[in-house]
Structure 1
């Protein structure tokens, strides 16, 4: 993959298309998991790859996925700020589209319930939890993505698990 990144940095459009093809679903899934609504996931994903294209020459090595997750997180945060201003007006429409996203992603009912409970977590707990358990990033990588200390990330993941367990027990599920 390093060779593909270097080719894309030198302006090779096929190499950039290969990067998009390789990471597109990962970006979509991460954006959705951290709270971007189903109707905005595609826009965020496209914006992420536009930013990647524009700033590829500033990528200085290291883990490409960590760099990509950071761009996705920042883009998603920007989009979520916009969404918060429109949330009350769009609530009914949001629920309708979320069910479409679940069926499009072929997600089980349990996974939908878990997703909804994760969405209730504060973003500072939700992001590290999603990156660690669903995208398999190490605490160190998550600290790079979020610009938080590694020990802070461990604490946030632990608290997220505790809160999620409490929510599951409250809902009558097993923890």
Structure 2
């Protein structure tokens, strides 16, 4: 049953997210999150209008994503996360400059970097993006170096 639902609705839900978040990786993650919620909810609920119910789940998943994005992307010790060797005087780096630097990163560097900020470990990040753990470590290191360089300029 779930396989049939995925075949019928996956592309439409993913397109819904692509149009709103403008990032294919996030859209894929959000789409998978919706179908996980559907899988968990179906034994308890049998909606009359399944498509409307599915898109309602997608809408609220998107709201949660935006809420998490605001909180998680800018923790108070974000500058310290970039450079562990900074003195406390240097930690007063402008948060908007940091966000601009992150947004300038390529997708292959930005995605593992953001996942690490969210608290995922290297092994989990590797599983999420489908690369080796050593690749994740390298990309996060490269992202930190590029951000430090951009912020100092």
TM-score normalised according to structure 1 size: 0.41
Structure of greater relative contact order (alpha carbons < 8 Å, 6+ residues apart): 1
More helix, by proportion: 1
Q: Which has the larger radius of gyration?
A: 2
